[in-house]
Structure 1
Amino acid sequence: MNLLTFSVLVRILLFLLFFFLIDWYSFQAFKTGLPAQSWIKLVYWAFSIFIYLFVVYGFLTFNRSNLSLNFGRLISLIVLSLIPKLILLGFMFGEDFLRFFTGIYQSVSGSREGDFLPDRRKFISQTALIVSSIPFLGILHGVLVGKYRYRVVNHTLEFDDLPQEFDGFTITQISDIHSGSFDNKKKLEYGVELINKQNSDVILFTGDLVNNHSGEMEPWIDTFKKLKAPMGKYSILGNHDYGDYMSWPSKEAKEANMQRLYEIQGELGFQLLKNENVKLKKNGAHIDLIGVENWGKGFGQYGDLKKAASNLSDQSFKILMSHDPSHFDEQVKNFSQFIHLTLSGHTHGMQFGIEIPGFIKWSPASLRYPKWAGMYEELGRYLHVNRGFGFLAFPGRVGIWPEITVIKLKRR
């Protein structure tokens, strides 16, 4: 057995041990809260054993360069199993904490005979089972329905210096297609139709066409070619588009992949902007559209904003496409030229969170990105972070739905 094989084996065993301990502890709620002969207990262990086998298979066949649908299913099963059990764990641990100190008190006071620990309370276990079923059902919905539950988000922005000819100009932004993750052509076609129904003047795609390599987009070219906008379709690259997350047999193979990705962008009807700009013209007036390559804090920094805007007038109205929202705080908001609106994506809102307008907006993405979803304004400049059209790794969305953004520009 070589060192690499031994390392993989150790990781598998540690992972299985970790899962078994969680399973065993969580099962105490089923033992106490359900009848002794309940069939649900058998289902619990059958499901857990199935996941153990799938985890072993996943470890042995894992290949970053080819994240198959089976890997996505593995992630979904782990999440579906783990999160509810962690909630059960919290209830059981809290009760055991109280049982322990109750046992100490009763032993010292002499008020209890028999076992040191008091029996578990059926009510606590049943409450734990009910509470943990909520995220279980939510995750199940996210995997079966949520990942294709497209929603249209509308914003209207007013500017003093917007050319009069562009008053009412509309932009549809999509981001993070991640074509290598799709598994339902009918649902995808519905999403594309929904984009077209917005009848926007332009469609702007802010990066991550694929997960790892250009071949992932090949089956979906005909679907995305149907996107239409009278003033054009423009795109940029995201961090996943460069093929940096997989091993290539040679430098030439990686470069050939990039060239094919550029070709696919053209076949889709997108004009790809790589640290450059174009003028969107209407009735003799124009606004400047800037597209930078990926620039992210902690990710690939291929973008060159200075180069992309080098030939532009300081007085022109500017829209920037930049995949990673961290670029806004790091460079854009203090850039020498005033950029009125930046469009980003990248975060996906972690595909998990809670959003109730006017009450709460939270996702684990907020721990990494201060600006993780929606519209932000700072120093008179706007940033919009799209929640993403597709999904990655976890094949689902819980509370953070796939987004089609429509932005209307108005002259104040």
Structure 2
Amino acid sequence: MNRIVILLLVVASVIFLDWYAYQTIKVAVQNWTGVGRLVVQRGYWVLSALLIVFLALITLTRVGVLGQASEITRNIVATAFFGILLTKIFLVLFSAISDVWRVTQYAFEMVQGWISTPTKAATDVAEATPAATDNTITRSEFLAKTGAVVSAMPLVTMGYGILSGAHDYRVHRQKIYLPNLPKEFHGLRVGQLSDIHSGSFFNKTAVKGGVEMLLNEKPDVIFFTGDLVNNYAKEVEDYIRIFDKVKAPLGVYSVLGNHDYSDYVAWDSAEAKRRNLQDLMHAHKLMGWHLLNDEHIFLEQNKEKLAVIGIQNWGAKGNFPKYGNLHKAHAGTEEAPVKLLLSHDPSHWDAQVRKEFKDIDLMMAGHTHGMQFGIETEFFKWSPVQYMYKQWAGLYTEGNQHLYVNRGFGYLGFPGRIGILPEITVFELCKA
């Protein structure tokens, strides 16, 4: 019985808030006439209906009533739900601000009336003052119109982030100066991809275009720093014939990210989960990528060597797994004057690399996606993810050691990007 009462109270509260927010729309269009006013008012209730429908779809899919929806379908439905929800919240806030203003103004006028009685002269002046014209906008109407415009921003911004930002690939070129770099490797061009998340893609042509952008840079070697899929190896099947075009003269080398282990979904058995990981590793092989699982290789030019170390996921933040063994991967690289590390999670750098492996010159990571949301200009960079990760996008240097965090090629959850765009990185290694 108590649950029924609570449910009824929640439903009643939602209905009241929806009606309350609608008052802002009514005030905003009160001077409109014709179809425009009708469309806006009816459109509001259409959004309310869609909010309920999307919530039902999310719930029924989650409990398995509607079966397994595709990753991109779930993401789009969830994005639409939260976009509409934010729109409603903004409308409620502006309705509240408008009402608080009116109550305050009314109270002030009452107090003013108690304190002073208007004189005859003041009354005559007030009567002689022309009435406000029909073009005058009241403060309540101004707040309502402002609220209506502001509340539309979440939906508009999210829509733009999906249609434009999701595949608006940007090439970031970065010179890295290394004092011990052999002259044979001076000018070496290194390409980096990270966080492909193939299960989220919805535009195969755009993805192919991103790969072509990387190849047009003509890198000598290419590194992939993890998260090929969201959860399941089968997600990459439709994209193998795109990513197998990623080739370079000195090879393509890759590592696993936290999502590649499929830790975030329920499996029927440990064996099924193990097979999924094996299938994912096989996908790397099919694409011609050399997967480095706690191991290293040497790049050689005229008898000079450069070590490339690759480890499994190793995270120091939140509950991200520590599968990697850097001591194992590093062993045997002592002879290389320069060592490059591929490690998915940038928190690994401060937590272990800088403390225990001073001879690792450059670590390349991804993982953060720049949260797929933020502001980035030539002189300013901000994203909410920076409050969790000290290093979250771009180049960081401490002494002679460098860390580069790729913003990611794909996307997860929200099927788009706002401000922080998908990245293709091209390094030029230079002797300092």
Q: Structure 2 length as normaliser, TM-score?
A: 0.85
Question: 1:86-141 CA distances to partner (integer Å, 9 max, x unpaired)?
Answer: 444444444444334333333333379xxxxxx86111222233344444322211
Residue in structure 2 matching 1:81, options 74, 84, 89: 84
Q: Distance in 2 between matches of 1:280 and 1:388?
A: 25
* Residues in 1 aligned to 2:423 and 2:384: alpha-carbon distance in whole angstroms: 18
| 1:59–1:320 distance in 2 versus 1, CA, 3 Å | same
Residue 211 of structure 2 is aligned to residue 208 of structure 1: no
How many angstroms apart in 2 are the aligned matches of 1:277 and 1:12?
58
Between structure 1 and structure 2, the one with the greater Rg is 2
Q: Secondary structure at the residue paired with 1:152?
A: strand
Cα distance, 1:255–1:300 mapped onto 2, change above 3 Å: same
- The one-letter code of the counterpart of 2:330 is A
Name 1:301's counterpart in structure 2. Answer: 322
Q: Quote the residue 1:406 is aligned against.
A: 426
- For residues 9-24 of structure 1, the aligned pairs below 5 Å read 23-24=18-19
Q: Which residue of 2 aligns with 1:156?
A: 175
Which deviations, in whole Å up to 9, do the C-alpha atoms of 1:222-273 show, x marking residues without a partner? 1111112111000000000001111111111111111111111100111001
Q: 1:377: how far off?
A: 1.2
Given residue 396 of structure 1, which amino acid in structure 2 is its aligned partner? G
Q: Find the aligned partners of 1:142 and 1:292 in 2 and give their Cα distance.
A: 33
Q: Residues of 1 paired with 2:109 and 2:7: CA distance?
A: 43
Q: Distance in 2 between matches of 1:242 and 1:301?
A: 12
Deviation at 1:192, TM superposition (A): 1.3
SS state at 2:307 partner: strand
Q: Which piece of structure 1 moves more, 304-313 or 32-41?
A: 32-41
Give the 3-state SS of the residue equivalent to 1:372 in structure 2: coil
Checking the alignment, whether the CA contact within 8 Å between 2:58 and 2:78 is kept in structure 1 is no
2:408 pairs, out of 364, 388, 399, with: 388
Moved >6 Å (runs of 4+): 9-19, 63-66
CA RMSD of aligned residues (A): 2.7
Asked if residue 72 in structure 1 is aligned to residue 75 in structure 2, the reply is yes
How many Å separate the matches in 2 of 1:349 and 1:89?
Answer: 30
**Aligned-partner residue type, residue 205 of structure 1:** F
1:370 pairs with 2:373: no
Which amino acid in 2 is paired with 1:273?
L
Q: Does the 8 Å contact 1:288/1:318 carry over to 2?
A: yes
List aligned pairs for 1:303-322, cutoff 5 A. 303-313=324-334, 316-322=337-343
Of residues 185, 208, 218, the one that matches 1:166 is 185
**Could you tell me how far apart the structure 2 residues matched to 1:109 and 1:85 are?**
36
The answer to whether the Cα contact below 8 Å between 1:314 and 1:338 also exists between their aligned partners in 2 is no
Question: Is this contact kept in 2: 1:76–1:396, CA < 8 A?
Answer: no
Change (3 A) 1:291 1:211: same
> One-letter code of the match for 2:301?
K
Give the 5 Å matches for 1:273-288: 273-288=292-307
Take 1:90 and 1:361, find their aligned partners in 2: how far apart are those partners?
Answer: 29
1:231 matched to 2:234? The reply is: no
Matched, 1:43 2:65: no
What residue number does 1:102 align with? 105
Q: Is the 8 A contact 1:162 1:411 kept in 2?
A: yes
Instruction: Give the 3 Å change call, closer, same or farther, for CA 13–182 of structure 1 in structure 2.
Output: farther
Distance 2:422 2:5 in 1: 38
Cross-structure match for 1:220: 239
Give the fraction of aligned pairs with identical amino acids, expressed as a percent: 41
Task: Give yes or no for contact 2:295–2:328 (8 Å, CA) kept in 1.
Answer: yes
**Is the Cα–Cα contact under 8 Å of residues 80 and 140 in structure 1 kept in the other structure?**
no
Pairing 1:270–2:289 present:
yes
Q: Pick closer, same or farther for the CA change 1:341–1:88 going to 2, 3 Å.
A: farther
